[in-house]
């Protein structure tokens, strides 16, 4: 604890660049638990960059942790690139713009050309800008869908997707050599702009981005015919302008925006958890809908890389649809329409994270579409697109998705994109509306055709230093004492993505997993059921992904409940 107190005292003396930090440090004087929580570690820089609570200390997001990471990134770029450059974006979160300008000044001081958006923009726009300007890297200041107290700093490579493990590890080596207070080169932001070292990215680039998004329409005229009504919420984030622009472009003229959630506000006053997976974010939209009678409700998260939907069924009751359901429907829509129009490539390929619904793979098989399962993290989908592009096969990419409400069609971005997803969801809803079907009907028809897949994600939170130890202990325990049966089902095989080995219960030879190593365990059960256990890379959580397959909705849901109860036992 003595070293922790020395660190605290150093920050109390030197962290004068932001008055909020000194006030916070003064307020916890003498409180060992609060001091420990802020200084027991440095925020870890992984493939998702930094993410943490905004505040004072090495374990918080502030101008010193951001500055140290940026100096390390600068050193990495100057070592690996001649005349390096970088694109920067930011969202509506508390201090996002402040952090982005601080980072830009540090990069400029290190001789790195900076392109920075003139206002907050979605994460996929940052991915697009990297490739548009041919930069060496990219940064976006965002904590995606986390609560208001969080912010984050994500780093991208020249291909427009998040850094690979190797790139992040090398960057982290440079970061660790940087002193928080004396090791950072700085330059005034306005002075760097005046000298041409920092250049603003204007709306002309956003229009080019939207042009590329619009090219993903498969039925360009259908929306105008359907007279679609949409209620939209950007959840006080970045989606308001680009999503409304793209919907207007394709002919969705009846868009009603939730007024309390329209404008940027990092406090997220009406949705403490601005996550489109959560029903609460739709409550204001649902209230609005009593007077509107919309066909569809859309909500994008603060950095507009995820989108969730609610759909009224035939009785008028609103149904929240899962990320797995939307992913399966979009894939079926794109494949069926491309096949019908004769534009489906014979070597078409679709992809999802391996924790997402297996229903998508069954759908792809119907259309003779190659299907790949990749590790969680959209960068792996970005890598695949880049490989296809290098082979001259960019047009073969149909779409990629993750169960956590992230989708991408097209190759304009290498990250999930709620702008293109919102557009395609509206187009899909319009198409089926002309067939007298809503999206609930569509999903039920897919279940009737392919079987009922109940997919449930349970999150288990483990806060603080002791929480990290508990998470490690749970994963170690599951590895050393692998379950032989779960909820009455035999474990057919156990896939350990950390050792890259699949072990079979019947004694068959082990199989190798041809994916990057990851701290994940998958227990494959009889009849296609499974539980996947994975610690989050960005939050103090372990997630359990449950798949239950039944011959009816009821049987699948009942089985999912049993499997969730089994997962609960793992976490004790």
Q: What are the catalytic residues?
A: 144
296 close to 426: Cβ distance less than 8 angstroms = yes
Count how many residues are written for the chain.
572
Cα(112)–Cα(512) distance, rounded to whole angstroms?
Answer: 42
CB atoms under 10 Å from CB of 318, counted, come to 17
Please answer whether residues 338 and 217 qualify as being in contact, where contact means their C-beta atoms are separated by less than 8 angstroms: no
CA pair distance 122, 138, nearest whole angstrom: 13
Burial of residue 83, with CB atoms counted within 10 A of its CB: 0-12 exposed, 13-18 middle, 19 or more buried: exposed
Strand locations in 235-361 (E) = 254-257, 296-300, 307-312, 318-321, 349-353
**d(C-alpha 175, C-alpha 294), whole Å:** 50
Cα 131 to chain centroid, rounded:
19
How far is 531 from 522, CA to CA, in rounded Å? 6
3-state DSSP of 502-571? EEECCCCCCEECCCCCCCCEEEEEHHHCEEEEEECCCCCEEEEEEEEEECCHHHHHHHHHHHHHHHHHHC
d(CA 355, CA 402): 8
Give CA–CA dist 394/212, Å, rounded: 14
Q: CA 554 to CA 558: how far, in whole Å?
A: 6
Q: Which of 295, 298, 153, 148 is nearest to 226 (CA)?
A: 295
d(CA 141, CA 92): 9
**Alpha carbon of 319 to those of 42, 248, 275, 324, 443: distances in Å?**
42, 25, 17, 14, 11
Q: How many Cα atoms are found within 13 Å in the side-chain-facing hemisphere of 377? A: 26
Residue 19: Cβ-neighbour burial (10 angstroms; 0-12, 13-18, 19+): exposed
Contacting residues for 173 by C-beta, under 8 A, at least 6 apart: 72
Dihedral (CA of 96, 97, 99, 104) sign: positive
Q: List the one residue out of 172, 540, 534, 513 whose CA is nearest residue 373.
A: 513
* Residue pair 419/304 in contact by the 8 Å Cβ criterion: yes
- Alpha-carbon distances, residue 553 vs 109, 232, 278, 446, 556 (angstroms): 59, 29, 21, 12, 5
Cβ atoms of residues 425 and 326 within 8 Å: yes
C-alpha distance from residue 267 to each of 178, 229, 235, 236, 273 (Å)? 32, 29, 11, 9, 10
């Amino acid at each position: 604890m003595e070293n922790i107190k020395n660190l605290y005292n150093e920050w109390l003396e030197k962290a004068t660049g932001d008055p909020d930090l000194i006030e916070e440090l003064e307020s916890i004087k003498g409180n060992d638990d609060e001091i420990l929580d802020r200084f027991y570690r440095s925020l870890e820089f992984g493939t998702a960059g930094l993410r943490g609570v905004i505040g004072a200390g090495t374990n918080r997001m502030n101008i010193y942790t951001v500055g140290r990471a940026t100096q390390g990134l600068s050193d990495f770029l100057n070592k690996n690139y001649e005349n390096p450059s970088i694109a920067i974006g930011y969202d509506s979160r508390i201090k996002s713009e402040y952090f982005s300008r601080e980072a830009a000044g540090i990069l400029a001081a290190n001789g790195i050309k900076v392109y920075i958006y003139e206002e907050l923009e979605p994460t996929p726009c940052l991915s697009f800008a990297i490739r548009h300007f041919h930069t060496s890297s990219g940064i976006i200041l965002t904590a995606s869908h986390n609560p208001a107290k969080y912010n984050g700093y994500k780093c991208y490579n020249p291909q427009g997707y998040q850094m690979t493990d190797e790139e992040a590890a090398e960057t982290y080596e440079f970061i660790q050599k940087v002193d928080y207070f004396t090791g950072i080169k700085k330059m005034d932001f306005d002075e760097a702009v005046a000298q041409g070292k920092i250049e603003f990215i204007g709306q002309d680039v956003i229009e080019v981005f939207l042009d590329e998004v619009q090219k993903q329409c498969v039925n360009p005229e259908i929306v105008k015919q359907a007279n679609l009504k949409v209620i939209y919420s950007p959840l006080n984030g970045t989606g308001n302008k680009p999503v409304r622009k793209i919907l207007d472009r394709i002919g969705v003229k009846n868009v009603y925006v939730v007024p309390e959630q329209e404008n940027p506000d990092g406090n997220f006053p009406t949705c403490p958890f601005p996550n489109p997976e959560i029903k609460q974010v739709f409550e204001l939209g649902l209230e609005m809908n009593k007077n509107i009678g919309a066909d569809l409700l859309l909500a994008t998260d603060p950095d507009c890389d995820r989108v969730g939907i609610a759909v009224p069924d035939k009785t008028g009751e609103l149904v929240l649809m899962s990320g797995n359901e939307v992913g399966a429907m979009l894939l079926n829509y794109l494949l069926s329409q491309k096949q019908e129009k004769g534009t489906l490539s014979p070597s078409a390929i679709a992809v999802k994270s391996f924790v997402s619904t297996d229903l998508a793979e069954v759908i792809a098989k119907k259309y003779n579409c190659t299907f790949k399962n990749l590790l969680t993290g959209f960068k792996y989908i970005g890598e695949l697109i880049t490989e296809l592009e290098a082979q001259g096969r960019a047009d073969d990419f149909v779409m990629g998705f993750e169960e956590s409400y992230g989708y991408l069609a097209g190759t304009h971005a290498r990250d999930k994109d709620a702008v293109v997803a919102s557009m395609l969801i509206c187009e899909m809803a319009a198409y089926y509306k002309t067939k007298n079907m809503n999206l609930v009907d569509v999903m039920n028809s897919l279940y009737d055709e392919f079987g009922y897949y109940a997919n449930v994600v349970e999150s288990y939170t483990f806060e603080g230093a002791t929480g990290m130890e508990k998470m490690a202990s749970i994963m170690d325990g599951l590895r050393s004492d692998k379950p032989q049966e779960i909820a009455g089902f035999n474990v057919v095989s156990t896939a350990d993505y950390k050792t890259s080995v699949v072990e079979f219960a019947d004694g068959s030879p082990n199989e190798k997993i041809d994916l990057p190593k990851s701290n994940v365990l998958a227990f494959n059960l009889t009849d296609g059921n499974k539980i996947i256990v994975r610690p989050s890379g960005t939050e103090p959580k372990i997630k359990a992904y449950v798949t239950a397959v039944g011959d009816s909705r009821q049987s699948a849901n009942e089985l999912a409940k049993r499997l969730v109860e089994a997962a609960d036992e793992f976490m004790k």
